[in-house]
Every structure is written in C-alpha cells, then in structure tokens.
Chains A and B, each alone.
Chain A
C-alpha cells in the first residue's frame, strides 16, 4: 500500500495544474516482479492527480509484448517510460521514497517543455550525435539520488540521442553486480554501446558536464 498524505496530494494537484502537453506513462510489468503492484499504484495515483487527459497511462506485459517493449528500448522489467513527443525518460524498478519526487518533476518538465539546465550544459547536450546512455543506480532511501536522476533525465529531454534510466539497484541485483554498485547514486556512462566510465555521488551540474565532455568526444 502506498502512503501519500493529503497535503502532498494537494501540492501535486496544484503543480499539475501547470501541465500543458499530455504525458504518456507506459508501464511494463510481468509475473516475476516484486513491486509491480506498488509501481502501478504509484503511477495510477499520480495520474489521478492530473487534470483530465494530461496523463495517459498504458500497462503492458513485458513477456507477452516483447516487440513493443523493444521498440521503446525496454530490455527488462519492471520498467516505466515517461513520454511526451519525442522526449522519453526511463525508470527501472520502483520510484518510491525520494524518487517519487523525480517522477513528479519529470512529468512537469516533459509536459511544460521547460528544462532548467545551465545554457552551457544545454549547448553541449544538443550537439551530442553519438548514442549516449546514462544509468543512474539508486535506492529509495537515498536523499542524494534524485539529484543525479533528475540531471540525467533532463539531459535526455534535451537530446533524444541521450537516454537516461533510473535503476533501483536492489531490484536489479545482476545489473548492480555487473556495474559493482555498492554505493548510490552511481551513474554509468555508455557511449555507442560501450561502457566508458562511472561516477559515484550526486555531483554538481558543472562537474557532471566536465565528466561528460571528457568521456564523449566527437
């Protein structure tokens, strides 16, 4: 059962009154899934707080609808994609605890198309023409993590060549082991399919930009 106090509900409703373009929430679940029920509950709650038609929810079965999943770039579940036009951001696993804020803020950014980033960051992100993937590993109890998730997600909103995933580390132990995640947030940078570097901690935007510039060259 999810817990959302009345004040927070009201606050989100107020924030969601700003929504402009519709945002699609596409959820992929399946049988072997610890938190699918809770994730759906979170997503439906968020949808219920938005004005009619501003959030469109789709639910799919990953195993039964593999082709659709692949066409959206989804390779595991539970997965949630937020989509507005060509802009997409990904959540693998539950967006509970502190990550709930990331979900709500992402929806507002996608719908209003207002992305708050330093002009220098935007300039660099817009120019990227290689396939960049940022996987941000988190735990729901980590207060630093949303900062890393949001930064990655905002970059993905600037340029569709950048793909950004929140990954709830505990639900994806094999992936966490592969990237040796034992401290969060940990961001893995993949360029043209090759894992090139990782960074631990919620680093400030200018430092993150330097790190990207160092690792992504034309």
Chain B
C-alpha cells in the first residue's frame, strides 16, 4: 500500500507584489504561471488547499494530457509547477480588498498585502438544497464532500442529489465503497458527460431516481431517511439511507468582488469582458466565479488571459499602448 503525503505551503516572502491572485484553483494557478513567466512578482492567496475544489474531485478524465487522474494529484501537479517557476503561495483568508489611488490593499485575518493589480479567482461554493433537515444534519449524514466523508459510509446506503459531472463522478466513487447508491435527479436527462452516465448505469448497486426532488431529510441523532417526491406522479416516497451527498451545483464566491465595487450578474457571477477585465481597472477575474462552463480547462484558460491582461495593465508594453 502506498501512502501519499501532501504538504501545505509556507508563508510568503514579502508584503508587496506586482500581482496578487486570490484563489489557488486552476484559474489562479494558471494565472500565476503566466504572470511569473512575464516577471511579475506574484502571490497566490488561497484559503483552504492549493487546487481549490479540484482537490475534491475523485477522478478527472477530461483534462488533456491525463487519461485519468485524481483531483488531488492534479491539484498537486498544478501547485508544484507554479511553485517551481517562482509563484509564491500563502494559505490565508482574504477579508477585504481596498483600492487606493495606485494600488490595492489586500487584508487577510493575519496580514496586509499590497499589489498593483488583482485577479479574483475565488471559485464557488456548494449550493445547498434548502430543505428541512439539511442544516440540522450537516456532519451527521449530510455531506458536500465525497472525498472527505466517503469512508464513513463504507457498506452503507447513501443518496446523491444532482445531475451534473460532480454528482455522477461522486456516484461512481461512492458505488465502490457503499452497498447501495441512489442517484436522485430532478430531470430525466443529465448535464454530466454521457460516458460517465452510461458507465454508472452498468453498476448494479446504483439506482437512478429521476424526475424527483428531495423534500426533507429526516433522522434522530443522524440521518435515517429522505422524503423524495416524483415530479410527474406527485407521489412521495420515504427512502431509508445513512448519508446524503449534495452535488446540485455551485454559487460564486463573489462577496469580496462585490465589496470592491466589481459588477456582478443577476446570479452573482463576476461580469468580465473577453480580456477578463472587470469594471474596476486593475481587477480581473477568472474561473468558476465568472460563470459559464465550470471546467478545469476553462478556468485555466481564463487564468492565462487574466494574467496577460494584468501584465499589460502593470507594465504597459508597447502593444498594449497601441490598443
């Protein structure tokens, strides 16, 4: 048996940078790689773990160059690549960004940094179901992280709610650990990649509960069952389960952006143009926080564009002046 070891990150060397990137997911890390290759002193501030939500994906099969790789491993490769090129990292939570005349002050719980430009790659957080019992049973059978909590449900019965890639991937992962997996989806079609849905259909311990919504999570000291309503027949059934994993999409982490005066769309995603510029000069955004297709490769591409735009803003090269 091989035991993998992951390291956190040490503190940053300075307090003043050319570019500060908030968020260490694929968008932030790619932006960091592009920025240091253009000689920008760059710091990435991540609040949890390098790789962002990528680290939570059990298996990735659509990132070019890797036929199949775990999210954790890909996140580590991203981090390593950026670190070797000279991107600095710190694990801190940003509490406030203040724009002054020529720069930005970025405050965390512990420190205050300065930068000439900022890239917001703050990603997204799990959307909640908003049904009775959900809040009450968080950590008692309600989970939003299959890679974290799956071991507690070995040989048990679980439900997964959602129809996107994360839900289907998590269902595959959990079907290898749990005795029975219900995949509950409000439609009869999936947004997830068909190749994964087809594979999931072959698993004998996975039951699809389609056109259905979870109305309530019930239990005593922990989750015991869920009430599931079929939208077509109107019928409600109680399904006995030990745990429920909620994968119904993400909501953007755009509070910091909003407090900085960055314009958001009606769903709370940061509005950007094709250069990843926001309405605030010197502030760029990339990745899931800008909406659109929430995929690693898309986030990485946006991170590259944002970094080049930030470089042009900071250094004013001849081609940017022509624009």
Closest chain A residue to B11, Cβ basis: A116
| Interchain CA distance A166-B159 in the complex, whole Å | 29
A204 within 8 Å of B by Cβ? Answer: yes
Q: What A residues does B48 contact at CB under 8 A? A: 143-144, 147, 202
Known contacts A143-B49, A144-B145, A202-B48; A182/B153 CB under 8 A = yes
Interface centre among B5, B8, B110 (most CB of A within 10 A): B5
Assess whether A200 is in contact with B139, with CB atoms less than 8 Å apart: yes
- Of the listed stretches A6-14, A68-76, A85-93, A189-197, name the one at the interface; the rest are far from the partner chain: A6-14
Within the complex, what minimum Cβ distance (angstroms) separates A189 from chain B?
Answer: 14
Q: Place the interface of chain A in its size category.
A: 35 or more
Task: Check B142–A183 contact: CB distance below 8 A.
Answer: yes
**For chain B residues 137-156, which have a beta carbon within 8 Å of chain A?**
138-143, 145, 147-153
The one of A182, A184, A206 that contacts B243, using a Cβ cutoff of 8 Å: A182
Please give the number of chain B residues whose Cβ is less than 8 angstroms from any Cβ of chain A in the complex.
39
Nearest chain A residue, comparing its CB with the CB of B10: A15
CB-nearest residue of chain B relative to A35? B3
Known contacts A144-B48, A144-B49, A200-B138; is-contact A118 B109 (Cβ 8 Å): yes
Tell me how far the C-beta of B96 lies from the nearest C-beta in chain A, rounded to whole angstroms.
13
Asked whether B186 is an interface residue with its Cβ less than 8 Å from the other chain, the reply is no
Contact (Cβ within 8 A) A101 B3: no
Query: Are A206's CB and B109's CB within 8 A?
Result: yes
Whether, in the assembled complex, B1 has its beta carbon less than 8 Å from a beta carbon of chain A, the answer is yes
Once the chains bind, are A142 and B148 in contact (CB under 8 Å)?
yes
- Taken residue by residue from 135 to 147, chain A's Cβ proximity to chain B (1 for < 8 Å, 0 otherwise) reads as 0000101111111
Chain B residues 78 to 127 lying within 8 A of chain A, measured CB to CB, are 80, 84, 91, 93, 109-110
Question: Which 6 pairs show the lowest CB-CB distances between chains A and B?
Answer: A200-B139, A101-B8, A143-B49, A183-B139, A100-B5, A142-B148
A residues apposed to B, CB below 8 Å: 1-4, 7-8, 11-12, 15, 38, 41-42, 94, 96-98, 100-102, 104-105, 116, 118, 139, 141-147, 169-170, 176, 180-184, 186, 200-202, 204-206
